[in-house]
Structure 1
Amino acid sequence: MTELIRLSKRMSELGLCSRREADEWIAKGWVRVDGKVIAELGTKILPHQKITIERQAAAEQSKRVTILINKPVGYVSGQAEDGYLPAIALIKPENRWSECKVNTSFHPTQLRSLVPAGRLDIDSVGLLILTQDGRIAKKLIGENSEVEKEYLVRVVYNKPGRLPDSDLRLLNHGLSLDGKKLLPAQVRWQNDDQLQFILKEGKKRQIRRMCEMVGLKVVGLKRVRIGKVRLGKLPEGQWRYLRDDEPFN
């Protein structure tokens, strides 16, 4: 016998929207199952049942924005903490990059439900994505996300000589954090004091902690790419809209 599944969860699995969005749409009467409007939150359905959404939901979703920001040091990714400003505080008309190619006018309503899709710690700089679109958030930080994140990491070795090749191999695969083995990474030298890291996960302060394990101190960390979307020439402290022709994968 096929198990019943919560409607909002099934909608998220199908990539229609996030679970939060699904609940909003259900409450507004915008979701049908096998042609019947479902307006009760928590409704469960069978996986094979046909879900359709009203045009209003699709129209509302199309208005949702995704923003790229080049986060400076001293800003936190999410909620304000310990007196530090969140990166969203930088999203105002005067900080919009003059070379932004998207023909969208800024409006304060775009800041509502705009959440960071992944973290970048207070001491790090570079590409941070903030989005109102639950589908993008799920793609970038969902449990099964396969999207690569690329970082340039300036380091100092606190032991004599150079980092042994065996420790570089450990950075690529073999380390554990919080009792859990890390996924394979791609780590290689860019020059004498800078490493390139490509990861498919993002545990808290992961790169700094990985480096500490092999005797490296991180003195600078910059995220330059998420999936196929690059930081490029976006100046520090400025932002732009994600273009329609910029898929993450």
Structure 2
Amino acid sequence: MSDTHAPTTRLNKRMAELGLCSRREADEWIARGWVRVDGRVAGIGVQVAPGARIDIDPAARGHQQEQVTILLHKPVGYVSGQAEDGYQPAAALVQARSHWRGDASRQRFSPGQLRGLAPAGRLDIDSTGLLVLTQDGRVARRLIGEDSTVEKEYLVRVAWGEATVGVQPLVPPAALAKLRHGLSLDGRPLKPARVDWQNPEQLRFVLTEGRKRQIRRMCELVGLKVMGLKRVRIGAVTLGQLPLGQWRYLGPDERF
């Protein structure tokens, strides 16, 4: 039994908080009559108490299992989301002919997999590497929800002044310390980051947040210029051998 005196929450928000689906999916399921609250079919916009019993029709689970998550090796020159300023969205690369032959998944591509496919996180137009596109709101929430702690790893080629070769010995240790912790963007402090030299011209960043152009702006604040940026890992999922401009499915045994 739910407590009628407890503060209530909109049903779609509560379902997202419970990790059942995204808010958008919740609205779709509710509209289809697939959601019951305390035994009654729920309506759009209904408010629920914290202890309310939420039951999901098996049809919704089947619908969810059909949703795909795609891993794309985004090239420079594509935007992550909607087309803008004449640049194509990265999702335009998700075609049968660009499906990586090395994909271990047994899934086959169909045009229906493009419906509702959206990026779960940004990768700037001038950056390359691993981009996640998903139809599954649970995946999006895990990667870009306000409470997300999933690590994102980047290889970042940098310059110091005019120097683009042998940069490491020129950069003061204090600059690296600031990159790790102590910087703010847009008046808000950044979470601690792991930042180390990968080689004399390249830094490895590991972040748990994704502010707009974050790494480039962080580097500017300490006098570094980003010459190239590549995302190589999100959580436990790596870019691996996925060729530039090609994509594969997230495997059933893979988790972010």
TM superposition score category, shorter chain reference: over 0.9
Cα displacement (A) at 1:37: 1.0
Per the alignment, residue 30 of structure 2 pairs with 26
Per the alignment, residue 166 of structure 2 pairs with none
Per the alignment, residue 168 of structure 1 pairs with 176
C-alpha distance in structure 2 between counterparts of 1:195 and 1:4, whole Å: 47
Per the alignment, residue 64 of structure 1 pairs with 67
Deviations 1:205-228 (A, max 9, x none): 000000011111100100000000
Runs of 4+ in structure 1 off by over 3 angstroms are: none
**Matching of residue 124 in structure 1 with residue 133 in structure 2:** no
1:224 to 227, 232, 240: 232
Cα displacement (A) at 1:88: 0.4
Cα displacement (A) at 1:192: 0.6
C-alpha distance in structure 2 between counterparts of 1:163 and 1:62, whole Å: 49
Per the alignment, residue 219 of structure 2 pairs with 211
Per the alignment, residue 6 of structure 2 pairs with 2
C-alpha distance in structure 1 between counterparts of 2:210 and 2:18, whole Å: 24
C-alpha distance in structure 1 between counterparts of 2:201 and 2:70, whole Å: 31
Deviations 1:93-121 (A, max 9, x none): 00000011111111111001000000000
C-alpha distance in structure 2 between counterparts of 1:163 and 1:210, whole Å: 14
Give the fraction of aligned pairs with identical amino acids, expressed as a percent.
63
TM-score normalised by L of structure 1: 0.98
User: What SS does the corresponding residue of 1:146 show, helix, strand or coil?
Assistant: coil
C-alpha distance in structure 2 between counterparts of 1:17 and 1:82, whole Å: 33
Cα displacement (A) at 1:159: 7.0
C-alpha distance in structure 2 between counterparts of 1:238 and 1:166, whole Å: 39
Provide structure 1 residue ranges, at least 5 long, that are not aligned to the other structure: none
C-alpha distance in structure 1 between counterparts of 2:131 and 2:179, whole Å: 24
Per the alignment, residue 136 of structure 1 pairs with 139
Provide structure 2 residue ranges, at least 5 long, that are not aligned to the other structure: 164-168
1:186-201 mapped onto 2 (5 Å cutoff): 186-201=194-209
C-alpha distance in structure 1 between counterparts of 2:185 and 2:174, whole Å: 19
Deviations 1:113-151 (A, max 9, x none): 000000000000000000000000000000000000000
User: What SS does the corresponding residue of 1:25 show, helix, strand or coil?
Assistant: helix
User: What SS does the corresponding residue of 1:32 show, helix, strand or coil?
Assistant: strand
Per the alignment, residue 37 of structure 1 pairs with 41
Per the alignment, residue 55 of structure 1 pairs with 58
Deviations 1:218-249 (A, max 9, x none): 0010000000000000000000000011111x
User: What SS does the corresponding residue of 1:243 show, helix, strand or coil?
Assistant: coil
